[in-house]
Structure 1
């Protein structure tokens, strides 16, 4: 393809194709989770989301009505019903044992104990016929192989959104996330300005120590920090988790903001000092307005990290019903075995609503903040 400046190089096509592939790799799993969250839980358990628009094969177990409900028709007592119990599907075979759920063809008679017979039609209607008046007892179990049409439902979201305690957990998460995002930004902004534009002994060593803290796993400090909090009386409290997230987020925040502020034009800072401005005035009136893209970038990262956190919240808040965060509530709703896929997929989208709103509200500053300092102003 030709352009005003000549033919487009092959590298441009490689870049474009790579970007498309990366976007697909990120969006395809998310789309799959969305489709899964709207599927019927029984179909979701036996087939992948890519089969959502096709009929699915399924083995199910139904139980006929109790024998005493049989009505006399001619010389036999008969029970009727439908194996789908108000649902829909097409029976491909049935049986009276779990070992062979398709032992009999549709419409074929299966012999039961006591001379009774069982017949199942393609639409799921069954007929149990007794030679004489049956004795009271449990209904006959019917094993069915069926093909069901695609089913979509909002019941998964209703189960998650209206679960007990979800509203309280949402408020707890907001209570944790907002201060844990604002506090480290305030502290890091002051520290970054000092490391970028103020001369004092040991500045290089302090910066090296901050960079070194970036590679320290936070898991190493959870238990010692919790013991310290319990000693001073702030264990299992919101103050404790605010301070914990602040400490864990400060090294990255200071590093990012310092690099951005160091790349700002020196002439502006020097002119302000010549005019008699103090460091605090330079920081408040010049540095902060120019550093807003970097501040917004870190705010996005910190908000997403704290909002989706479960480990730190479990350690510093516990599983108290009054202090349980959203991720903890959804974990309790999912259960210990983690087999409820319909709850897991719906919970994923419920949990990302607020982070998505925050991201789109501040995304225009994200790239500017991440690329800050790559080109130094003149």
Structure 2
């Protein structure tokens, strides 16, 4: 019976080979990620440009003079927040969203603790019920709402 031991040289050669085998995959992923994020970057840059510049040239023209900060403005954000009532809508969204996230997570944390550490009557039944309800698609909960709208 013989044992082969890999030397440092062969291990480093294997690492280099593995890198060059996976390099095309990583380059492809990088190209797809750049193409995917390009429209979002364009929208973000456009949001800081004056209206005349938006209407007369593309967002990529900002890169001709990237450090000329006179071509950027916060006027668009000021107009959206103050004139169109979006500031109040944003605050209302926060007032609804924060409790809608915090309350269920808090209740779920208490329930998870109970399932994990406490022995109580009906524990198995409730556990099977929770796991069984995971099989039901979320859209099924919208059926009563659909019936309500149809009846109106």
- Same fold? TM cut 0.5: yes
Residue correspondence of structure 1 range 328-367 to structure 2 within 5 A: none
Residue 181 of structure 1: aligned partner: 101
Alpha carbons of structure 1 residues 12 and 217: separation in structure 2 relative to 1, 3 Å: farther
Query: What is the rounded CA distance, in whole Å, between the counterparts of 1:36 and 1:168 in structure 2?
Result: 24
> In the alignment, which of 120, 130, 147 is matched to residue 207 of structure 1?
130
TM-aligned CA deviation for residue 51 of structure 1? 5.0
- Which of 57, 60, 75 is equivalent to 1:50? 60
The Cα of 1:183 is off from its aligned counterpart by 0.5
Deviation at 1:195, TM superposition (A): 4.4
Q: When you count helix as a share of all residues, which structure comes out higher? A: 2
| 1:21 CA drift (Å) | 3.0
Aligned residue-pair number? 129
Q: Does 1:27 align with 2:27?
A: no
Name structure 2 gaps, 5 residues minimum.
1-8, 65-70
State the partner residue of 2:6. Answer: none
Q: TM-score, normalised by structure 1?
A: 0.28
**Structure-2 change in CA distance of 1:177 and 1:194 (3 Å):** same
Structure 1 position 154, deviation (Å): 3.6
| 1:193 to 1:12, Cα distance in 2 relative to 1, 3 A | farther
Alignment of 1:115-264 (within 5 A): 153-163=73-83, 165-196=85-116, 200-203=123-126, 205-216=128-139, 219-222=142-145
Q: For 2:98, what is the secondary structure of its paired residue?
A: helix
Residue by residue over 1:80-122, the C-alpha shift from the partner in whole angstroms, topping out at 9 and shown as x without a partner, is xxxxxxxxxxxxxxxxxxxxxxxxxxxxxxxxxxxxxxxxxxx
Cα offset for 1:186?
A: 1.1
Change (3 A) 1:17 1:3: farther
Structure of larger gyration radius: 1
1:212 partner SS: coil
- With CA pairs under 8 Å and 6+ residues apart, which has the higher RCO, 1 or 2? 1
Q: CA deviation at 1:170?
A: 3.0
TM score, norm. by length of structure 2: 0.57
Deviation at 1:32, TM superposition (A): 0.6
Which structure is higher in strand share? 1
Deviation at 1:152, TM superposition (A): 5.2
RMSD: 3.8
Q: Show structure 1 runs of 5+ residues with no match.
A: 55-150, 227-378
